[in-house]
């Protein structure tokens, strides 16, 4: 398992290649990547991501460990950035490796659902007209009930 909370960019291809090359018992690798989406108006300048150093790593580790208990996984990777990002920048990625695809897909969805509302990150959208904290969505909280 690898958890990384970092300011710098990550190389999606290199990360996926390294992760996939880990163990030939894993017949399935799933990766998900989150990207900074521009606003409908197209005027997002910066997405600022704040986090709680210490708790963030603990929370992500706990979520990944829970996933490993629930599904048969060979490996888990979580990378999440913080700081100032621009539209189109990659915010985060998760990758799961398993013998079979069902475990890999479900675990990746579980990681994303929990990471959205249980990992201490907060997003702020900065435009030319001002700055606004992104509000948590009820549907993200509701998504946890399916697990």
Partner 1 sequence: MDVLYFAWVRERIGLPKERIETEAATVSDLVAELSAREDRYAAAFADLSALRVALDQELSDFDASLVGVREVAFFPPMTGG
Q: Which stretch binds partner 1 (CB under 8 A): 13-21, 65-73, 100-108, 122-130?
A: 122-130
Contact 90, 35 (CB under 8 A): yes
Q: What is the residue whose two structure tokens read 């030319």?
A: 128
Region 21-40 residues binding partner 1, contact defined as CB under 8 A:
34
Identified binder of partner 1 from the candidate list 37, 58, 100, 102, rule CB under 8 A: 58
Region 128-147 residues binding partner 1, contact defined as CB under 8 A:
133-136, 141
Helix (H, G, I), strand (E, B) or coil at 101: helix
Q: Which is nearer to partner 1, 65 or 141 (CB)?
A: 141
Q: Which is nearer to partner 1, 92 or 98 (CB)?
A: 92
Contact 48, 121 (CB under 8 A): no
Asked if 110 is part of the footprint of partner 1 (rule: CB under 8 A), the reply reads no
Q: Which is nearer to partner 1, 99 or 116 (CB)?
A: 116
Distance between first and last Cα of the chain: 21
- The CA distance from 76 to 104, in Å, is 9
- The CA distance from 98 to 25, in Å, is 8
Applying CB under 8 A, the residues found at the interface with partner 1 are 34, 50, 52, 54-55, 58-59, 80, 91-92, 112, 115-124, 133-136, 141
């Amino acid at each position: 398992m690898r958890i990384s909370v970092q300011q710098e960019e990550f190389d999606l291809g290199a990360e996926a290649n390294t992760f996939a090359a880990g163990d030939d018992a894993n017949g399935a690798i799933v990766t998900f990547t989150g990207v900074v989406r521009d606003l409908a108006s197209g005027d997002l300048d910066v997405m600022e991501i704040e986090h709680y150093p210490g708790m963030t790593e603990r929370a992500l580790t706990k979520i990944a460990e829970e996933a490993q208990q629930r599904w048969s996984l060979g490996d888990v990777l979580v990378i999440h950035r913080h700081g100032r990002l621009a539209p189109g920048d990659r915010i985060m990625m998760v990758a799961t490796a398993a013998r079979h695809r069902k475990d890999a897909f479900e675990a990746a969805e579980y990681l994303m659902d929990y990471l959205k509302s249980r990992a201490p990150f907060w997003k702020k959208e900065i435009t030319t007209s001002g700055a606004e904290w992104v509000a948590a969505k009820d549907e993200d909280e509701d998504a946890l009930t399916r697990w």
